[in-house]
Chain A
Amino acid sequence: MTLAALLVIRRGAPGAERWDRFEVAFEPGQSVLDGLRRIRVEQDPSLAFRYSCINANACKECVMRVDGKTVYACIARLEPREMRLEPLPNKAWLRDLATEIAPPDERIDAVAPPRD
């Protein structure tokens, strides 16, 4: 029998949010980020989350909330059960699990504020 993780993910953007459920097969030892990347390839390419280094916990971009705790998705273990994934609550929400984590002076808004 193939084991699966059920990822319940807070999706959308401010003003239009929803929860989506994705079932992903996994092998023991995989990370939550492995599961998310697999969802993008196999089910929904629009699922947004940040990552750069994939596996090394070097870029520190994949920070999010898993079951209410702030973790790096690349080192949080995927488990064969329901896991709830949310964007960071204390950062501006961009889309799905992606939040604005760049230092304020490294954002495009710092040089070109949005009009709306």
Chain B
Amino acid sequence: MTTRECVRLATDVLVIGSGAAGMSAAIAADEADASVLLVDRSLIGRGGATVMAQMTVAVALGEEVPDDWRYHLADTIAAGRGLCDERLARILCENGPDAIRRLDQWRVGWARHADGRIRQAHAPGHDRPRCVYVDFLSTGPAVSSTLRGQVQRHVRIRRIGDLCVTDLVICDGTAAGAVGFSVSDGRPVAIEAKTVIVACGGLTRLYRRNSASANMGGDGYALALRAGAELVDMEFVQFFPIGHLAPRLIGMDPIMWDPFRYKLGGRLLNSELREFTDDYGVPEAGSYRVTRDLATYAILKEVEAGRGSPAGGVYLSFRHVPADRLREAFGPVIDRLAKNGIDLTRTDVEVAPIAHYHMGGIRVAPSLETRIANLFAAGEAIGGANGANRLSGNAITEALVFGRIAGEAAAGRAKRIGGSPWRDADAAAALELPASDGATSALNPAALIAELQALMASDVGPFRTEAGLQRALVQITRATASLGVAPPPSLGRFDTTRLDWFDLRNMLLVAHVVTQAALARTESRGAHQREDFPAMEDDWAVNQIVGLEHGRPVLTRVPVAALASEAAQ
């Protein structure tokens, strides 16, 4: 093995991930006068899920009709099927309006009525119109670019892109920083920090069809788990029911159809060109507000019954909508569709469930701190607020709200403690991986990732059986063994084989945990559906948490955290 010279950095607050949660955390920590280092394995503010969120943002602003965060909370808890950490859900809903108004002041460009009121759409699972958006599928890019501009204005925030964090460093049971490597030149990096915020999103990349960026491989979960923190609700992967399937469509987010479905009443049809959600006890009555888990169920059951579309989904049809209304609602999107050969007045598109979001994640207290002191987490990286099923529109809201709170908390803590407990001796083992070269091998990590994605889609998708989950565990264990214990030798600059190796290391650990939690939960609830245990069971109204013991993930059950009764009123 050869060992390379290491880049050494130091900061009060280290923020890992630069989506909405990470950027919000960095801004808040800087405003609290801590020194901040914001790192991302991709470019700052461009990867992750936020930039892909072409959808809506749920917040009780009351611009359309009177609203209150308590109503938003009631809908969030109802969607979560009894598993929401109500304390976290409350924080999300209560702080949402401030977060959305702050972005408005930063000129994100929320769509407005002529009289100046912010427009709020009525999305599935909400009791009233509550979801703000930037028009024509621009919500995520607008949120990302607004936050990126604010991060740049907070000139003390140091930003480093193309920096892949491979492990957190824990000294005396306390977070002390992280190690990794620079993707652009291959140099190993050691970052000493007083506090660390993990904000690098979810795990949708574990699945073949997904709606997020290529860097959403569950790395935050793996980092936290290996550092000694716990994960919660890992069996709950949200599938987005109507991801685009066919015809091949480029330059568009695969989840683009949803807002148009609510705006225009797009119809879901099976191969007999018949609406079918009513058959599953989910009458839509023209409202198109069936929740995501129920829509996913109905679509997959139609496909299973042989009534799917040629590409393996169902049809989404706007043919009943006049061309001028399509143009009004879709705006420039109509032209982008035309470039892909799609004319909605004549043709239906094919849609199918795709992995979209992870309800589970790092277990945190309402302060956003994990069980490891000085280790915080925010955004999709945390679990709990959304229980067994996330309410439409809550993802960006939680990223903004939890990011800000984690940033404030981590900065406050950093200012109270003297220094990072970092000791080189404690970091040495973690640093060895990115700093050294394993043996040359014929391993193709890109192919192994593709195999894992296919396995997760077929055996750990929205519908699960004991046999499928057991099969997945065997395969994951085998793939983990083939990965070996050291990365392939470094080629230096932009070494994708090595990057894939580190990604796969995280993906396999997280896939194992998701599968293990899904196997243990012998009931069906929200996004976790067991074909062999189809009923929701009162006994299972508990959260499963996962921690590593002697390097192996171990599950335990804990009661769901409820609000004190006076707070819920």
Interface residues of A (CB under 8 A from B): 13, 27-31, 40-42, 45-61, 74-75, 77, 94-96, 98, 100-103, 105-112, 114-115
Pair A74/B251 contact, Cβ less than 8 Å: yes
Known contacts A55-B253, A57-B251, A111-B158; can you find 8 more A-B pairs with CB under 8 A? A13-B492, A55-B254, A59-B47, A77-B250, A94-B493, A101-B43, A107-B161, A108-B184
A-B contact count (CB 8 A): 144
Complex Cα distance, B44 from A61, in Å, reads 11
Count of interface residues, chain B, beta-carbon cutoff 8 Å: 53
Residues of the A chain whose Cβ atoms lie less than 8 Å from the Cβ of B250 = 29-31, 55, 57, 74-75, 77
Shortest C-beta distance, A110 to chain B (Å), equals 8
Closest B residue to A39 using CB positions? B446
Residues of the B chain whose Cβ atoms lie less than 8 Å from the Cβ of A42 = 447
Pair B214/A112 contact, Cβ less than 8 Å: no
Residues of the B chain whose Cβ atoms lie less than 8 Å from the Cβ of A115 = 5
Complex Cα distance, B122 from A17, in Å, reads 55
Would you call B340 an interface residue if the criterion is a C-beta within 8 Å of the partner chain's C-beta atoms? yes
Kindly list the 5 A-B residue pairs having the minimum CB-CB distance in the complex, ordered from nearest: A29-B248, A52-B47, A45-B446, A75-B251, A56-B253
From B70-78, B223-231, B318-326, B495-503, give the one contacting chain A.
B495-503
Shortest C-beta distance, A95 to chain B (Å), equals 4
Complex Cα distance, B341 from A96, in Å, reads 32
Pair B47/A53 contact, Cβ less than 8 Å: yes
Residues of the A chain whose Cβ atoms lie less than 8 Å from the Cβ of B106 = none
For A46, A59, A107, which residue has the most chain B Cβ atoms within 10 angstroms? A59
Instruction: Please list 26 pairs of residues, one from A and one from B, whose beta carbons are closer than 8 Å in the complex, sorted by A's number.
Output: A42-B447, A45-B444, A45-B445, A45-B447, A46-B495, A46-B496, A48-B495, A54-B214, A56-B252, A57-B250, A57-B251, A58-B46, A58-B253, A59-B42, A59-B51, A60-B46, A61-B42, A74-B250, A94-B184, A95-B492, A98-B493, A102-B161, A106-B159, A106-B160, A107-B161, A111-B7
For A47, A50, A74, A108, which residue has the most chain B Cβ atoms within 10 angstroms? A108
Closest A residue to B159 using CB positions? A106
Pair B213/A108 contact, Cβ less than 8 Å: no
Pair A102/B253 contact, Cβ less than 8 Å: no
A52 in contact with B160 given A95-B493, A108-B7 (CB within 8 Å): no
Closest A residue to B51 using CB positions? A58
Pair A53/B51 contact, Cβ less than 8 Å: yes
Q: Quick one: CB contact mask for B185-222 with A, threshold 8 Å, 1 for yes?
A: 10101000000000000000000000001110000000
Pair B43/A52 contact, Cβ less than 8 Å: yes
Pair A108/B247 contact, Cβ less than 8 Å: no
Complex Cα distance, B162 from A52, in Å, reads 12
Complex Cα distance, B302 from A61, in Å, reads 38
Pair A47/B496 contact, Cβ less than 8 Å: yes
A52 in contact with B494 given A29-B250, A45-B444, A108-B184 (CB within 8 Å): no
Closest B residue to A42 using CB positions? B447
Pair A53/B52 contact, Cβ less than 8 Å: yes
Would you call B163 an interface residue if the criterion is a C-beta within 8 Å of the partner chain's C-beta atoms? yes
Pair B495/A59 contact, Cβ less than 8 Å: no
Closest B residue to A59 using CB positions? B46
Pair B46/A61 contact, Cβ less than 8 Å: yes
Pair B340/A29 contact, Cβ less than 8 Å: yes
